[in-house]
Amino acid sequence: MSLIQVINPNTSLAMTETIGAAARAVAASGTDIIAVSPSQGVPSVEGHFDEAVATIGVLEQIKRGREQGVSGHVIACFGDPGLLAARELASGPVIGIAEAAMHTATLVATRFSIVTTLPRTLVIARHLLQQYGFTHYCAALHAIDLPVLALEDGSGLAQDKVRERCLAAKQQDGCGAIVLGCGGMAMLAHQLTRELEMPVIDGVSAAVKMVETLVALGFGTSKHGDLAWPIAKPLSGAFQHLN
Ligand code: 5HY
């Protein structure tokens, strides 16, 4: 039996539920999912400042998950906030949904497009493409121009716009797969894959399967080199509990 902790870095409980449901839908029969979000932080992650604030909450959850004995962790926000810091704090594998979706896309297509929420966060996706070495695999990036929490407002408008953008990307970009660029889009991937007749990839489910695979292979995060435990030092003030 393995336990995977799926961390939604924003404080939206509705989105945490969506993400948890997507994770459970693909989890193997021997895998339990705990979906969590920080108790303090930002209601949605829509920029560099939001990412910086959300990262502390992610690290708190990683520490808590480790103390609970989870086998691995997923960071379920498309900017993969705090990914490398989280790996320093973790013994099991830690996978970000952007890296999981991008890696998956390159295994089933030579070029993929990304569909995310706000235009201002496209630069975050571009930076990750560069950092992960996937820039040349990316055909185009699209934004539906609605805030992250529009995906949870119950109107269905954001979901309709995601669908329209995916259809446009398929027709115009010359891509073979689409990566959904927000944790809140997780439940859309299955239906869109069927409708578009091409892979539409949600990073939450991809990341859960990657954690399962790494655990089955017996791999945790390497503690040799830069991902070794953080250098012990007295953290002060509000950060003492991270020791
Ligand atoms: C996400 N923001 O996956 C990102 C991505 C985005 O609160 N969860 C967030 O920019 O849409």
Q: Which residues of the chain have pLDDT under 70?
A: none
The full length of the chain comes to 243
Q: Are residues 172 and 113 in the same domain?
A: yes
Q: Are residues 174 and 209 in the same domain?
A: no
pLDDT at 184: 97
C-alpha 130 to ligand 1 mean position (Å): 18
| Cα four-point dihedral sign 68, 239, 93, 11 | positive
CATH code, domain carrying 124? 3.40.50.12500
User: 32 is in which domain, residue-wise?
Assistant: 2-96+205-242
Q: Are residues 103 and 197 in the same domain?
A: yes
pLDDT at 243: 77
Q: Are residues 190 and 133 in the same domain?
A: yes
Q: Which of 6, 44, 121, 187 to mutate to test the pocket of ligand 1 (most atoms within 8 A of CB)?
A: 44
CA-to-CA distance for 24 and 26, rounded, in angstroms?
5
CA-to-CA distance for 229 and 144, rounded, in angstroms?
39
Q: Are residues 170 and 73 in the same domain?
A: no
Q: Is the CB of 78 under 6 A from ligand 1?
A: yes
Q: Are residues 168 and 232 in the same domain?
A: no
Which tokens go with 7? Answer: 């961390």
pLDDT at 130: 98
Q: Are residues 72 and 107 in the same domain?
A: no
C-alpha 143 to ligand 1 mean position (Å): 11
Domain count, the chain: 2
CA-to-CA distance for 204 and 23, rounded, in angstroms?
6
* 115 in Cβ contact with 178 (< 8 Å): yes
pLDDT at 180: 98
pLDDT at 1: 82
Q: Give the ligand 1 atom nearest the CA of 8.
A: 8
Q: Is the CB of 182 under 6 A from ligand 1?
A: yes
Q: Are residues 10 and 92 in the same domain?
A: yes
* 124 in Cβ contact with 48 (< 8 Å): yes
